[in-house]
């Protein structure tokens, strides 16, 4: 949600900043802006809409400046207008600030600053930071920033430059990610490594309440009380091809096609040689806790929540440990019951979702042990958890999550096998879960090879206004995920339901204009789902079934069938969701939607 890039060094800042912020456009794209210090002037430019609009505006300007900041916005306080776009500038016109996050006490601060004579140009919470810094400025920018941030309540990732203390790029974080990139006689700051990967892989992840002062040659990190901190330098493991489209029309399609590989990467090095025993490096030292866990609570949002539901079914089926799945946003405010032997699993692709982060804070307060399942290494949730498992899916840039979802299920399967090992559940280790999991990447590949049939179906239903998705058992969360994909990127109203619940409401909506996607693989509840299909057909609804490839009868009962390979029930979701991802993708593209940047959505929701 929103993106920040800052640069200080020997090179011209403008192209670096624009290049970087373009890579973060997937995080927010309603407006953008840039400030660059050139000679003894600070130049700023802002625009509404995509970054390409900003690029047009600055074409040929800012030729020489080697210090600057840029921002892409996803509006929270105030509409996407030029005035509300960042950077925000103080009254003197010398201090320029970009901000991610939310300043919770901005109304109070704004009123106070106004009384002191400051004049505001925007409706944003962020602008107060620029004026606060101005009010504290006595010659040293970092001192003023420190004092200003002490007044601020809420979350921030900020980058600041000032004409009165040039040669410095200052950044600070609390609750909103910020990363420093180290180059040759240059430094970068960004809210997401993707922005700077082209220039450096050496990074430092800032922690909450840290302030960093960057000059061309130096980096100094302190806490908010000015106590110096030594930071570790990490190396980013991704390559540039991971953040480029590589010939695909959209990132989403590329990421759908990456799934055979991302699933292999989720398993890589995690099975002991020729065995079903799983080794998870991030859980070393925690085996005792896991042996004694009597209850698991999974907290997550969006697609990650849907994956969590599959985790619930899987862990309960294989290990008999009670699992609850909670929306992180609900969990954090409802005084949840956590006992000494409760484990909380936070699932988050980005590792930055504000509600999930707050949920783990709540769980920690109550003494739970916290395990994270994240994709982004170095993310807040991954770092704050007691232990964790990374997805290793590579960066996911399409706003609609695809490969992260299937990797989350794969990792939940690995976790199930790991827990089975340490809890002595030999029957689970010897059953089919491990072997079938190893077959999954090849099976996903075969589904991708049948894209043409999915395109035909997309063509038939692309003009629908509504769509219902049904599934039972392990395929119920898949129905939710299929519906979520469709509504996110095509703006067709879509609902996912447990198939039998259709009778309790959605059936009233069914007529000949209602496509109903039924995930009807040959599993424990197959005969039950056939009844739901009959009920839809009896009311004229059009049924698109996702079925197992050995199923010879279903084609006679439904309008269209998309076949997937056979596997065990617990792993079916990894396969059954693939046609639904492609269906949503193609319907959205046919409707002319921008699938990588769907309206109003953000890839990583770092505000409540
Ligand atoms: C946003 C994204 C979704 C994602 C959800 C949770 O809504 O658009 O794709 O599933 O956040 O994000 P997380 O990074 O925590 O998995």
185-196 pLDDT per residue, tens: 999 999 989 899
CA of 205 relative to ligand 1 center, distance in Å? 21
Instruction: Return the residue matching tokens 């090179």.
Output: 11
Say how far residue 65 (Cα) sits from the centre of its chain: 33
Residue 569 DSSP symbol = G
SS3 content of the chain, % helix, strand, coil (to 5): 40, 25, 40
Region 259-264: what's the mean pLDDT? 96
pLDDT of residue 547: 97
CA of 522 relative to ligand 1 center, distance in Å? 30
Q: Which is the closest atom of ligand 1 to the Cα of 350? A: 14
CA of 405 relative to ligand 1 center, distance in Å? 10
Region 127-133: what's the mean pLDDT? 97
pLDDT of residue 426: 85
* Pocket flag, ligand 1, residue 32 (CB < 6 Å): no
Closest of 572, 278, 565 to residue 442, by C-alpha:
565
Q: Which is the closest atom of ligand 1 to the Cα of 300? A: 15
Quote the mean pLDDT of the chain. Answer: 93
Atom 13 (ligand 1): residue with closest C-alpha?
348
Region 525-529: what's the mean pLDDT? 89
pLDDT of residue 321: 96
pLDDT band at residue 273 under the 50/70/90 scheme? confident
CA of 391 relative to ligand 1 center, distance in Å? 15
Read off the tokens for 39.
Answer: 């000679």
How much of the chain exceeds pLDDT 70, in percent? 99
Are residues 256 and 585 in contact, defined by beta-carbon separation less than 8 angstroms?
Answer: yes
Closest of 56, 167, 430 to residue 276, by C-alpha:
430
* Pocket flag, ligand 1, residue 299 (CB < 6 Å): no
Probe ligand 1: pick from 326, 332, 353, max atoms within 8 Å of CB?
353
Residue 87 DSSP symbol = P
Among the listed ranges 55-59, 332-336, 338-342, 574-578, which one has the minimum average pLDDT value? 332-336
Residue 75 contacts by C-beta under 8 Å, 6 or more apart in sequence? 30, 31, 84
* Pocket flag, ligand 1, residue 304 (CB < 6 Å): yes
Q: Which is the closest atom of ligand 1 to the Cα of 602? A: 8
Measured over the CA atoms of residue 351, residue 354, residue 356 and residue 362, the dihedral's sign is positive
Region 215-222: what's the mean pLDDT? 97
Probe ligand 1: pick from 373, 396, 595, 604, max atoms within 8 Å of CB?
604
CA of 398 relative to ligand 1 center, distance in Å? 11
Q: How far is CA 484 from CA 296, 356, 400, 402, in A?
A: 25, 19, 9, 11
CA–CA separation, 90 vs 82, rounded Å?
16
94 half-sphere exposure, CB direction, 13 A CA radius: 15
pLDDT at 592 over 70: yes
* Pocket flag, ligand 1, residue 581 (CB < 6 Å): no
Q: How far is CA 311 from CA 304, 408, 524, in A?
A: 10, 9, 18
* Pocket flag, ligand 1, residue 303 (CB < 6 Å): yes
Read off the tokens for 506.
Answer: 């959605």
46 three-state secondary structure: strand
Supply the DSSP string of 362-406, one letter for each residue: HHHHTT-EEEEEESSTT-HHHHHSSEEEE-------SSS--HHHH
72 three-state secondary structure: strand
CA of 395 relative to ligand 1 center, distance in Å? 13
Probe ligand 1: pick from 29, 401, 477, max atoms within 8 Å of CB?
401
CA of 578 relative to ligand 1 center, distance in Å? 18
H or E element in which residue 339 lies: none
pLDDT at 246 over 90: no
Atom 8 (ligand 1): residue with closest C-alpha?
603
429-464 pLDDT per residue, tens: 777 999 999 999 999 999 999 999 999 999 999 999
Probe ligand 1: pick from 328, 348, 350, max atoms within 8 Å of CB?
350
Region 245-270: what's the mean pLDDT? 93
**Any bridge partners for residue 158, and if so which?**
99, 172
Read off the tokens for 348.
Answer: 């988050």
CA angle 409, 414, 416 (to 5 degrees): 95
* Pocket flag, ligand 1, residue 401 (CB < 6 Å): yes
Are residues 66 and 12 in contact, defined by beta-carbon separation less than 8 angstroms?
Answer: yes
pLDDT at 606 over 80: no
Q: Which is the closest atom of ligand 1 to the Cα of 376? A: 14
CA–CA separation, 77 vs 460, rounded Å?
40
CA of 350 relative to ligand 1 center, distance in Å? 7
* Pocket flag, ligand 1, residue 395 (CB < 6 Å): no
CA of 483 relative to ligand 1 center, distance in Å? 15
Q: Which is the closest atom of ligand 1 to the Cα of 301? A: 6
282-293 pLDDT per residue, tens: 998 888 889 999
Total number of residues shown for the chain:
608
420 three-state secondary structure: helix
pLDDT of residue 28: 65
Read off the tokens for 519.
Answer: 């995930």
* Pocket flag, ligand 1, residue 72 (CB < 6 Å): no
- Count other Cβ atoms within 10 Å, centred on residue 503: 13
* Pocket flag, ligand 1, residue 402 (CB < 6 Å): no
Are residues 444 and 406 in contact, defined by beta-carbon separation less than 8 angstroms?
Answer: yes
CA–CA separation, 150 vs 187, rounded Å?
25
Residue 272 DSSP symbol = P
* Pocket flag, ligand 1, residue 380 (CB < 6 Å): no
CA–CA separation, 193 vs 208, rounded Å?
17
CA of 303 relative to ligand 1 center, distance in Å? 6
pLDDT at 85 over 80: yes
* Pocket flag, ligand 1, residue 348 (CB < 6 Å): yes
* Pocket flag, ligand 1, residue 487 (CB < 6 Å): no
pLDDT at 76 over 80: no
Backbone angles phi, psi at 196, to 5 degrees: -120, 0
Instruction: Return the residue matching tokens 């058992």.
Output: 473
Q: How far is CA 421 from CA 271, 318, 439, 440, in A?
A: 12, 12, 21, 21
pLDDT band at residue 1 under the 50/70/90 scheme? low
> Mutual orientation of helices 572-590 and 433-448 as an angle, nearest 10°?
20
CA of 515 relative to ligand 1 center, distance in Å? 26
> pTM of the entire structure?
0.85
- 2 flagged as catalytic: yes
378-434 pLDDT per residue, tens: 888 999 999 999 999 988 999 999 999 999 999 999 999 999 999 999 887 777 999
pLDDT at 543 over 90: yes
214 three-state secondary structure: strand
Probe ligand 1: pick from 304, 393, 607, max atoms within 8 Å of CB?
304
223 three-state secondary structure: strand
The catalytic residue among 94, 487, 542, 603 is 603
Residue 302 Ramachandran class (φ > 0 left, ψ -120 to 50 alpha, else beta): left
The catalytic residue among 2, 301, 374, 467 is 2
pLDDT at 335 over 70: yes
Measured over the CA atoms of residue 178, residue 184, residue 185 and residue 186, the dihedral's sign is negative
Atom 2 (ligand 1): residue with closest C-alpha?
603
């Amino acid at each position: 949600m929103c993106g920040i890039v800052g640069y200080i060094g020997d090179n011209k800042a403008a192209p670096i900043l624009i290049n970087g912020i373009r890579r973060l456009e997937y995080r927010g794209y309603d407006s953008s802006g840039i400030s660059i210090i050139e000679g003894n002037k600070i130049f700023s430019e802002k625009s509404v809409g995509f970054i390409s609009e900003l690029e047009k505006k600055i074409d040929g300007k800012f030729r020489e400046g080697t210090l600057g900041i840029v921002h892409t916005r996803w509006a929270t306080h105030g509409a996407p207008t030029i005035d509300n776009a960042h950077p925000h500038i103080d009254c003197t016109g010398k201090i320029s600030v970009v901000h991610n996050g939310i300043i919770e006490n901005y109304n109070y601060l704004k009123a106070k600053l106004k009384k002191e004579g400051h004049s505001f140009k925007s409706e944003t919470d962020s602008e107060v930071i620029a004026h606060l810094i101005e009010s504290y400025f006595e010659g040293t920018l970092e001192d003023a920033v420190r004092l200003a941030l002490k007044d601020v309540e809420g979350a921030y990732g900020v980058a600041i430059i000032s004409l009165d203390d040039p040669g410095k790029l200052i950044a600070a974080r609390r609750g909103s990610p910020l990363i420093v990139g180290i180059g040759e006689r240059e430094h970068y700051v960004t809210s997401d490594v993707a922005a700077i990967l082209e220039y450096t892989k050496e990074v430092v992840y800032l922690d909450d309440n840290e302030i960093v002062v960057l000059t061309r040659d130096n980096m100094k990190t302190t806490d908010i009380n000015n106590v110096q901190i030594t930071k570790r330098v990490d190396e980013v493991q991704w390559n540039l091809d991971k953040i480029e489209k590589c010939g695909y029309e959209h990132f989403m399609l590329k990421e759908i096609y990456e799934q055979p590989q991302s699933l292999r990467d989720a398993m890589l090095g995690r099975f002991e040689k020729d065995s079903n025993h799983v080794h998870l490096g991030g859980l070393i030292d925690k085996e005792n806790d896991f042996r004694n866990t009597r209850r698991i609570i999974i907290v997550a949002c969006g697609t990650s929540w849907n994956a969590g539901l599959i985790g619930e079914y899987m862990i309960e089926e294989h290990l008999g440990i009670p699992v609850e799945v909670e929306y992180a946003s609900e969990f954090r405010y409802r005084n949840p019951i956590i006992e000494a032997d409760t484990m909380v699993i936070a699932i988050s692709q980005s590792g930055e979702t504000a509600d999930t982060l707050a949920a783990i804070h709540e769980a920690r307060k109550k003494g739970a042990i916290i395990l994270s399942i994240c994709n982004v290494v170095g993310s807040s949730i991954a770092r704050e958890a007691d232990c964790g498992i990374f997805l290793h899916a590579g960066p996911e840039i399409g706003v609609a999550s695809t490969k992260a979802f299937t990797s989350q299920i794969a990792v939940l399967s690995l976790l199930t096998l790991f827990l089975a090992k340490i809890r002595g559940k030999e029957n689970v280790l010897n059953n089919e879960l491990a072997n079938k999991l190893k077959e999954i990447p090849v099976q996903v590949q075969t589904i991708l090879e049948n894209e043409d049939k999915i395109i035909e179906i997309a063509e038939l239903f692309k003009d629908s206004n509504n769509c219902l998705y049904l599934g039972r058992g392990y395929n119920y969360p898949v129905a939710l995920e299929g519906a979520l994909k469709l509504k996110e990127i095509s703006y067709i109203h879509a609902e996912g339901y447990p198939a039998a619940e259709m009778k309790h409401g959605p059936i009233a909506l069914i007529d000949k204009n209602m496509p109903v996607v039924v995930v009807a693989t040959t599993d424990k509840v197959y005969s039950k789902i056939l009844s739901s299909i009959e009920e839809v057909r009896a009311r004229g609804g059009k049924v698109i079934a996702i079925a197992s490839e050995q199923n010879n009868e279903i084609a006679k009962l439904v309008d269209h069938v998309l076949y997937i390979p056979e596997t065990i029930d617990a792993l079916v979701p990894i396969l059954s969701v693939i046609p639904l991802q492609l269906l949503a993708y193609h319907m959205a593209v046919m409707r002319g939607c921008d699938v990588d940047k769907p309206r109003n959505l953000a890839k990583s929701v770092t505000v409540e």
